[in-house]
């Protein structure tokens, strides 16, 4: 018959033979349904596998997310500790500035960066706490950067101040010109040892044996060497900043004019030249031309009075 499909089942072992006849539409519908069921089963299986994969992936991402939040919290805490530690440097900066007689940096300037720019809100961050932690991290980094650069600038200023102070200090008369020897006559009005009347004494007299070494009391340049009336053989050293020192009644001068001298350098020997009755050094300190009391410019622990 037309439009019929014959299916023959043969078993050689059991001598079995059976044939079935089905109309073609029935066969087609059956094959169609079989295909449909097979494809549906495959689709369901793929979908289930996909959902399992997504669930595993999501679990992994959530775990990673929790770990990241924990690490960000830890990072934020570390940065806060770093900010507190840096405050030690602020204290140190203040101490150094006090020591070198410099104005402190105002606390508001140290705090610059705090409450500064707010990080733009990201639409991808759902967790408010996480967003706040990230903002805190940005803020801590800004503050640390600001304080670090400020400290660097301050250190350069302090270094300049130290160099200037050391230069000024090295050029300021500050040691005893004949160490260990006594001051036998001070600065001020006194009975003149030769004339016997009251006269102003513009320096200090330091008694010492003839030939004792006289030291320059600060760095400078020799401004004058030679004979000066009542002063006898005299050396004048210019220390800059308006300071000059004079060493009179010398027996011998050991330096030349325009020679650079360092503090503690031997520049002459004690004598009794000029208006003098015994070997001694007449020592003067002049500030901007004014003869002032040299006592103020000698380390007091090295002074011995008669
Ligand atoms: Zn004198």
- Domain spans in the chain, listed from the N-terminal domain onward: 4-70, 94-170, 182-305
What separation in Å is there between the alpha carbon of 228 and the centre of ligand 1?
13
Predicted local distance difference test score (pLDDT) of residue 41: 94
- Rounded to the nearest whole angstrom, what is the distance from the C-alpha of residue 251 to the centroid of ligand 1? 15
- Centre of ligand 1 to C-alpha 204, Å, is 5
Tokens encoding 297:
């410019």
Residue 52 pLDDT: 93
Let me know if domain 182-305 sits in CATH 3.40.50.1460. Answer: no
Cα–Cα distances in Å, from 187 out to 75, 135, 238, 243, 294? 69, 70, 21, 17, 8
Q: What is the pLDDT of residue 15?
A: 79
C-alpha 247 – ligand 1 centre gap (Å): 10
- At 8 the pLDDT is 85
Q: Which of 183, 159, 168 is nearest to 283 (CA)?
A: 183
- Residues in the chain with pLDDT < 50? 116
Q: How far is the CA of 213 from the centre of ligand 1 (A)?
A: 17
Regarding pTM above 0.85, the answer is: no
At 121 the pLDDT is: 62
pLDDT in tens, 114-157: 554 555 666 666 677 888 888 888 888 888 888 899 999 999 99
How far, rounded to the nearest angstrom, does the alpha carbon of residue 16 sit from its chain's CA centroid?
A: 103
Cα of 270 vs centre of ligand 1, distance in Å, is 13
- Looking at residue 206, its pLDDT comes to 96
Side-chain half-sphere CA neighbours of 170 within 13 A: 12
pLDDT in the model for residue 119: 57
Question: How far away, in angstroms, is 305 Cα from ligand 1 center?
Answer: 14
Model pLDDT, residue 113: 52
Determine how many CB atoms are found less than 10 A away from the CB of residue 28: 12
DSSP reduced 3-state for 225: strand
Between the CA of 188 and the centroid of ligand 1 the distance, in Å, is 10
């Amino acid at each position: 018959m037309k439009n019929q499909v014959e299916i023959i089942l043969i078993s050689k072992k059991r001598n079995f033979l059976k044939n079935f006849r089905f109309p073609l539409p029935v066969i087609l519908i059956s094959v169609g349904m079989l295909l449909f069921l097979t494809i549906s089963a495959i689709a369901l299986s793929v979908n289930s596998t996909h959902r399992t994969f997504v669930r595993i992936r999501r679990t992994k991402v959530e775990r990673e997310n929790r770990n990241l939040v924990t690490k960000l919290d830890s990072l934020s805490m570390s940065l806060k500790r770093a900010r507190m530690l840096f405050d030690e440097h602020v204290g140190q900066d203040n101490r150094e500035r006090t020591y070198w007689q410099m104005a402190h940096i105002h606390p508001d300037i140290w705090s610059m960066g705090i409450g500064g720019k707010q990080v733009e809100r990201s639409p991808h961050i759902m967790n408010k706490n996480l967003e706040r932690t990230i903002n805190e991290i940005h803020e801590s980094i800004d503050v640390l950067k600001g304080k670090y650069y400020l400290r660097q600038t301050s250190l350069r200023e302090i270094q300049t101040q130290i160099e200037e102070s050391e230069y000024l200090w090295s050029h300021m008369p500050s040691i005893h010109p004949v160490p260990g020897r006594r001051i036998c006559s001070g600065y001020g009005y006194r009975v003149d040892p030769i004339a016997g009347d009251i006269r102003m004494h513009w320096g200090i007299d330091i008694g010492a044996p003839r030939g004792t070494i006289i030291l320059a009391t600060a760095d400078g340049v020799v401004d004058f060497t030679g004979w000066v009336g009542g002063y006898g053989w005299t050396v004048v050293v210019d220390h800059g900043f308006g300071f000059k020192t004079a060493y009179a009644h010398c027996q011998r001068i050991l330096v030349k004019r325009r020679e650079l001298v360092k503090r503690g350098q031997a520049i002459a020997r004690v004598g009794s030249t000029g208006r003098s009755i015994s070997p001694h050094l007449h020592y003067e300190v002049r500030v901007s031309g004014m003869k002032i009391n040299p006592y103020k410019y000698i380390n007091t622990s090295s002074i011995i009075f008669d």
